A = this chain, B = another copy of it.
Amino acid sequence: MREEISPPKGFRDFPSEDEILRKEIFARIEKVFQKYGFDPIETPIVEKWETLAGKYSEEAENRLIWRFKLPYSDKEFGLRYDLTVPLARFIARFNPKLPFKRYQIGRVFRYEDPQKGRYREFWQCDVDIVGESSPLADAEVINVVVDVFEEFSFKNYTIKINDRRILREIFEKFLGINDYSTILKIYRTIDKLDKIGKEKVLLLLKELNLGEKVLKQIESFIDASKLSNEEIIRYLESFDSNEIKVAVEGLKTILDFSKKRERIRIDLSLVRGLDYYTGMIYEAIVEEPKIGSLSGGGRYDDLIGIFTGNKIPAVGGSIGVERLIDAGLELGIFKKERKTYSKVGIVYTKEVDVKKVWEIADYLRSKEINTFVPFKGYSRILDGIRDLDKRGIKFALIVGRKEMEEGKLTLQNLVTRERFTVELEEIGKIVKG
């Protein structure tokens, strides 16, 4: 019997050389989060269906959430679709001291059509600030994202920002479209701008029967996204709307408090797909190297209230690391350099007492040196060196007949090919240096 060896479609295995790199990338992102005073929490992979229902979008709810019943339960469950709705539930449950700043790095699940860079199980790295309505919190989230980009030395990136309140006001008040589902459809269509271009967006909008005048206005609105930040701000300040004024003040604060003001671009065509956003929204794109959209998020001042019963403002950002890692590997920014955490491997021949070899390994391990010991002696030292080399282990500690007779050890650096005659106690200094 030979069984199917692939994971389900859209799911992945990570061999050690991938996993070691991924762990390093996660650790670097985590360090940025911690620098800003965010602390970790964890929530389950499985949530009650009721927790997830009605929070995302119709499309998510009807096609994308991993939703199921078990044979032994009449309850409905879902695998978490993001880390934000679980956070909102968490806040209601634990009522932490506000403002509450948490980060979370973990898997989320979407029933997507798998394609390059898009999976059914993928990792999000999220920071959120709960209980703070000041645009300073928005600015902090943006700065964390900037710092992550700087951490990986990206040269050319843009953080597009917008505000849902601007969109809502312009559509409702100035275009007279009060039907939320139509507004959502318009949002979703505009959201495709980057992917399908302006002409196709206008064609799709036409199908919504909005009328010639409204269409023209949306077009000019889309065109406004080409303007400079200062021009857009002036354009927005011309609207007689308190909501828009507040939103514009927020955008100005974000620009003012940003670590990299020149990287931030107000983009009125940015809408983002999830229903729960209420204020500032952003999306971050890395143009050099060409990686694409790496991070998105925004303000969701109503989501937590669904769970707590009273309104608690919140803002957050999510870094999708799959594209960072996939594209980074392809572009050579990241290399699968380490196949192993082992620093030393012991090469010994068949005539050497295995007990002695284990004692040497124990000593090295007690000195915090990760040590790989083959379970059998090699026929020839060279076989052992080749084996360790293939495993990516940098140092071979050779224990052959000669070494046993002379009571000395040989340490070989498998990269430089240098050999040293060493005492056991000296090894730490050499392999760590």
Residues of chain A whose beta carbon lies under 8 Å from any beta carbon of chain B: 1-8, 11-16, 18-20, 22-23, 34-37, 39-48, 50-51, 63, 66-73, 75, 77, 79, 89-90, 92-94, 96-97, 99, 101-102, 107, 109, 111, 120-121, 132, 134, 136-137, 140, 257, 259, 306-309, 339-342, 345, 354-355, 358, 362, 365, 368-376, 387, 390-391
Contacts and interface: CB of A to CB of B under 8 A. Distances in A.
B15 A342 contact: no
Nearest to A43: B13
A90 to B, nearest CB: 5
A19 to B, nearest CB: 5
Contacts of A259: 362
B6 A93 contact: yes
- From A47, A72, A97, residue with most partner B Cβ within 10 Å: A72
Contact of A107 (B40, B45, B69, B97): B45
Nearest to A48: B8
- From A3, A22, A69, A92, residue with most partner B Cβ within 10 Å: A3
Nearest to A2: B309
Nearest to A3: B307
A330 B410 CA distance: 49
A37 B121 CA distance: 29
A68 B20 CA distance: 32
B7 A44 contact: yes
Contacts of A390: 97
A41 B22 CA distance: 10
A4 B85 CA distance: 12
A13 B42 contact: yes
B46 A99 contact: no
Contacts of A96: 15
A297 to B, nearest CB: 17
B375 A136 contact: yes
B373 A37 contact: yes
A374 to B, nearest CB: 7
A339 B47 contact: no
